[in-house]
Structure 1
């Protein structure tokens, strides 16, 4: 499962053209660490509109 998660994260970077230095960002690391350490069954990450409005 770890390899699959690594692959999904890598594809997120490649397909969106995200800069690789994002992987050094503490918020990026904290988000994945939190998600992996807590039972979040059924969780769906916030979408485009929520990120650019409510969460901004």
Structure 2
């Protein structure tokens, strides 16, 4: 998912749950660049996930 689509996807997910049910999602997004391995991509997304979590609930970091 492109980074500019991550926040709208997170917001849509919020709207799909039953009202009154507290749910939060933080997401880390990364783009595959020339020369990156799958492990590099996973590491970048994982790093961004933890950046999002440190920033608070319902965050997207890219």
TM-score normalised by structure 2 residue count: 0.29
Compare the two structures and name the one with the higher strand fraction: 2
Compare the two structures and name the one with the higher helix fraction: 1
TM-score normalised by structure 1 residue count: 0.31
Greater relative contact order (Cα < 8 A, sep 6+): 2
Task: Tell which structure's C-alpha radius of gyration is larger.
Answer: 2
